[in-house]
Structure 1
């Protein structure tokens, strides 16, 4: 049960932030908080799903109560979970661009890096504090960042085509 505390605590934080924005009629921002909550549900719960068939071929390190992958793009690490990490953050990129239509690729890059680093840092911290049992993987930072950039670029194209989305 203790391993669920990080997710429960963060869920309460996202609920408070969403309610605050609801009361201040900032409805677009609520989507951002809901997206953050969804990403946290996928990454900060003690339920780990391995979709790779060659996990044993990835060079890992045991650091602070968790498994770390610090060498990016090892051939065995480019598996289904690699691509799904991109897909899972595309909606955050769409929401980012929807909320900040004047922003472009530099801000997308920063938002993507912040998303990936936050998720992986949270996994590292919670591995250390409560034994979350999640991998801390540099590839996830790269793929999460890529997903945010792809989502924001797609939304920009939609905004240019349909002026009402701004």
Structure 2
């Protein structure tokens, strides 16, 4: 995956498409953060209903009390930049599309984890909460970029 993303970054850099290049770099960073086979626990996992499937741990019940820990909030913060970069790339999208972009982002990351678990047994958690929080981070990042563009820069164009 890194080779593909590096190729896309190089391609957009050569064409001087810096917003697109930043977007692909954002995807590489998110993929690295979410697909690296390490476990970071920021709280107790006791009380979270999980299932073992396809060489990984699955959480399919959203917003369980024990699921809302520091990693829950980190997932929002982690995808704020990608939402900002979505805006830099496509600034005129209807705001009703923003949640869909967030779900696509979170879904792509969780799908990558699922494939990593299934193909090489990474043992990563595939968590519905991550899709929710990633989507929220993208929506907030997109909204903040729009506010920044409209209010502080004083124009509606995007470079």
Q: TM-score, normalization: structure 2? A: 0.94
Q: CA–CA distance in 2 between the matches of 1:146 and 1:24?
A: 32
Q: CA–CA distance in 2 between the matches of 1:109 and 1:12?
A: 29
Residue in structure 1 matched with residue 3 of structure 2 by the alignment: 12
1:52 equivalent to 2:11? Answer: no
Offset at 1:111?
A: 1.4
Residue in structure 1 matched with residue 83 of structure 2 by the alignment: 93
Of the three residues 120, 123, 126, the one matched with 2:113 is 123
Residue in structure 2 matched with residue 25 of structure 1 by the alignment: 16
- Three-state SS of the structure 2 residue aligned to 1:47 is coil
Higher helix share: 1
Offset at 1:158?
A: 0.6
Name stretches of at least 5 consecutive residues in structure 2 with no aligned partner. none
Residue in structure 2 matched with residue 3 of structure 1 by the alignment: none
Of the three residues 51, 60, 64, the one matched with 2:54 is 64
1:14-72 deviation digits (Å, cap 9, x = unpaired): 1000111112221110000110011011111111211122x021000011111000000
The runs of 4+ residues in structure 1 deviating greater than 6 Å are: none
1:102 equivalent to 2:92? Answer: yes
Q: CA–CA distance in 2 between the matches of 1:149 and 1:105?
A: 9
Q: CA–CA distance in 2 between the matches of 1:163 and 1:14?
A: 33
- Three-state SS of the structure 2 residue aligned to 1:91 is helix
Q: CA–CA distance in 1 between the matches of 2:7 and 2:97?
A: 26
| Worse-superposed segment, 102-111 or 113-122 | 102-111
Q: CA–CA distance in 1 between the matches of 2:95 and 2:68?
A: 25
1:58-88 deviation digits (Å, cap 9, x = unpaired): 0000111110000000000011100000000
RMSD of equivalent CA atoms: 1.1
Q: TM-score, normalization: structure 1? A: 0.90
Name stretches of at least 5 consecutive residues in structure 1 with no aligned partner. 1-9
Q: CA–CA distance in 1 between the matches of 2:25 and 2:58?
A: 28
